[in-house]
Amino acid sequence: MKDQILHKGQKVLGKLIRNKLAFLGAFVIFVLSFLSVFAPMIAPFNPEDQNIEERLLAPNSKHICGTDELGRDVFSRMVFGARVSLAVGFIAVIISAIIGILIGSAAGYYGGWLDTVLMRFVDIMLSIPTLFLILMLTVYLGPNIINVMIIIGLTGWMDLARLVRAEFLTLKKREYVLAARVSGASNGRIIFKHILPNALSPVFVSVIFGVGGAILLESGLSFLGLGVQPPDASWGNILTSGKDYIERAWWLTVYPGLAIFITVMSYNILGEGLRDALDPRLVE
Amino acid sequence: MKDKMLEVNNLSVGFFTPDGTLTAVDGINISVRKKETVCLVGESGSGKTVSALAIMRLVPNPGVVTSGEIIFNDENLLKISEEKMRALRGAEISMVFQEPFNCLNPVFRVSGQIGESIEIHLGLKGKERDEKIIEVLKLVGITDEKRVFSSYPHELSGGMRQRVMIAMGLVSNPSLLIADEPTTALDVTIQAQILELLADLKEKLSLSILLITHDLGIVNEIGDRVYVMYAGKIMEKGSKNEIFGSAKHPYTEGLLKSVPDLGPVKKRLYTIAGNIPDLTDIPTGCRFHPRCPYVMDICKMKDPVESMFSKEHSAWCFRYFGGEQKNG
């Protein structure tokens, strides 16, 4: 049974570790988190220090990823960029998880007109191309990192809401929900204490995938100049400034591109591994 | 009467489905006195569970209580606010279900399941709460209460889970326990233990029990009074001895005859011919008439009236209309 597997945490963890690809993903994410937490100690240079003498240097022993057009160390900028990417990924996803869970559980649990209203709202949100919505909101709210987090969070909760609603539709008919009601539990208590924990495993998987998506979105926005503003570093805006020198200085685009690719990929394979580990029907 | 705990008067529950209205419970009257075990007996689909859920005010959608009153301790439960009702559920009236496995939330340990009711109704926390849990686990006859306390439902046997369910129901000292087929999913020896436990708890806690079952063996074991229900209506009521000794209604007779005897097989097991009627298409007159061996013309046209045989014992059947027994 799906809901029994949740508290068999060790079993899930075991399955996850045996899945080498997922383990690799988790390892990369761990390393990245470590890098971004200790960025000031790890980065060999101040990411904003310019040095005209050393501009557009190819990777060498002093600057392992080379320098950019202002002579800033690319590796240091990328380490600080990891901070931005991971923070945006996490916070945006937390925002969308909260909205998605609240709307999905209310719609699924109460049903009726509330369900209709909330789900039509989800349909409307999904019918607007996300990128245009994000662009519009950033222009309106102003491009900075906090707004980017909020905007990505506000535009990414719909799939999760549908998922949570579907889980609630089946779980609310379980006898233990009736049993909880018989012992006098209120609706809020039933939703958050009795049903939600049983719905968490698919939610968790979807959230992990969501982090990868949010990081990709942030990079895209920063690339377009609507995300993190220079001189602050982000993988997206390192790419932007590098694109003008792509023929002379490949390291300005290849390294941040690789960083984005590897990070998003890691979240995706971790998410997939987690989905398989949490799925009781998949037995090795 | 002063010692009445629960009185259900003329209760009807309808389900408004797209295929038409279905009357699952049709004007039933039930009473439960203090420290009494009342059994509600009938086949599957006769409306027993819906009646119980109606008492808890938890009739599932699209069901609606269409008429009647439920008097519990001088208060009409159908008239009080939802908050007040919630405070009663689990505290004054508890319910135990048929499937002890499905009724325990798989993500909680036993301590969490039982603790839930304690937190809601008694407001105890921490050590006091844990002590109360251990106490109630002992009360329901669990001997290794420490292990059970921190077990998940899937780690327990069926009988244990049912004990945990009962413990959940009893933890805040209710005065009425509604047990909906509490032993159906258990094997016979465990069934006997659970029944013994219920009888024992009834004495210890001066509990009233409304027991819903289709098993007359259970009724004989712990029932004080019996209501026989068929297709949403009460067919016969009486004390246990009256029902088992001198059943009047042909349906009750049929049920009693359908209980298998242990010992050498002498004859085929008796069955009541036919099936319980489709509730969207209830037979006219007496609902039992298509299956009744003594059916008369009047049965097909009119609803039977109550014939009283003693203070407790009544049947709703035309055979006794006017005081004498008519056959066929």
| Tens digits of residue pLDDT in B147-198 | 999 998 888 988 889 889 999 988 888 999 999 988 887 888 888 888 999 9
The CA–CA distances, whole Å, from B201 to A145, B112, B141 equal: 63, 22, 10
pLDDT of residue A6: 46
Helix (H, G, I), strand (E, B) or coil at B233: strand
Residues of B whose CB is below 8 A from A176: 102-106
pLDDT of residue A122: 95
Give the domain CATH number at B310.
3.40.50.300
How many other β-carbons are positioned within 10 Å of the β-carbon of residue B106? 20
Q: How far is B325 from chain A (nearest CA, A)?
A: 44
Overall average pLDDT of the B233-256 stretch: 91
Instruction: Place B211 in a pLDDT band, splitting at 50, 70 and 90.
Output: very high
Residue A28 falls within a domain, yes or no? yes
Whether B155 and B133 map to the same domain: the answer is yes
Mutation to test the A interface, candidates B103, B109, B119, B165, most A Cβ within 10 Å: B103
Look at residues B138, B157, B173 and tell me which one is the last residue of a structural domain: B173
Residues of B whose CB is below 8 A from A182: 56, 58, 89-90, 94-95
Give the domain CATH number at A134.
1.10.3720.10
Whether B183 and B287 map to the same domain: the answer is yes
Looking at the partner chain, which of B58, B90, B94 has a beta carbon nearest the beta carbon of A178?
B58
Residues A157 and A103: beta-carbon distance below 8 Å:
yes
Look at residues B151, B173, B195 and tell me which one is the last residue of a structural domain: B173
Beta bridge partners of A140: none
pLDDT of residue B322: 64
pLDDT of residue A284: 46
Residues B12 and B71: beta-carbon distance below 8 Å:
no
In angstroms, rounded to a whole number, what is the distance separating the alpha carbons of residues A99 and A164?
Answer: 11
Residue of chain A nearest B103, judged by CA positions: A176
Whether B206 and B302 map to the same domain: the answer is yes
pLDDT of residue A12: 74
Look at residues B154, B173, B192 and tell me which one is the last residue of a structural domain: B173
How many other β-carbons are positioned within 10 Å of the β-carbon of residue A48? 14
Residue A40 falls within a domain, yes or no? no
Residue B53 falls within a domain, yes or no? yes
Rounded to a whole number of angstroms, the distance between the first and last alpha carbons of chain A is 16
Domain count, chain B: 2
Residue of chain B nearest A9, judged by CA positions: B107
Dihedral pair phi/psi, residue B301, rounded to 5°: -110, -40
Looking at the partner chain, which of A183, A189, A194 has a beta carbon nearest the beta carbon of B168?
A183
Whether B192 and B167 map to the same domain: the answer is no
pLDDT tens for each residue of B268-301: 888 888 888 888 788 888 889 888 888 888 888 8
Beta bridge partners of B177: B94, B209
Joined tokens for residue A179: 């049993």
Domain count, chain A: 1
Overall average pLDDT of the B111-131 stretch: 89
In angstroms, rounded to a whole number, what is the distance separating the alpha carbons of residues A204 and A6?
Answer: 11
Overall average pLDDT of the B78-88 stretch: 92
Residues of B whose CB is below 8 A from A178: 58, 97, 103
Q: How far is A195 from chain B (nearest CA, A)?
A: 9
Q: What is the mean pLDDT of each run of 10 residues along chain A (284 residues)?
A: 51 77 90 89 82 80 82 88 89 95 95 94 92 87 88 92 94 90 90 91 91 91 84 86 85 90 93 82 56
Residue B98 falls within a domain, yes or no? no
Token match 């005081």: residue?
B323
pLDDT of residue A3: 45
ipTM value greater than 0.90: no
In angstroms, rounded to a whole number, what is the distance separating the alpha carbons of residues B167 and A142?
Answer: 58
Domain extent, residue A146, equals: 2-35+75-278
pLDDT of residue A16: 76
Q: Is the Cβ pair A179, B87 closer than 8 Å?
A: no
Whether B248 and B112 map to the same domain: the answer is no
Q: In chain A, which residues touch B (CB < 8 A)?
A: 1, 3-4, 6-7, 174-176, 178-186, 189, 193-194, 197-198
Helix (H, G, I), strand (E, B) or coil at B74: coil
Q: In chain B, which residues touch A (CB < 8 A)?
A: 56, 58, 86-91, 94-95, 97, 99, 102-107, 116-117, 120-121, 152, 154, 165, 168-169
Q: Which amino acid is at A75?
A: F
Residue A116 falls within a domain, yes or no? yes
Q: What is the dihedral of CA B287, B292, B298, B304, to 10 degrees?
A: -50
Whether B202 and B316 map to the same domain: the answer is yes
Residue A284 falls within a domain, yes or no? no
CA–chain centroid gap for A182, Å, is 39
Domain extent, residue B184, equals: 4-92+174-323
Token match 């999760």: residue?
A160
In angstroms, rounded to a whole number, what is the distance separating the alpha carbons of residues B58 and A111?
Answer: 16
Looking at the partner chain, which of B88, B97, B107 has a beta carbon nearest the beta carbon of A198?
B107
DSSP B305: P
DSSP B1: -
Whether B145 and B267 map to the same domain: the answer is no
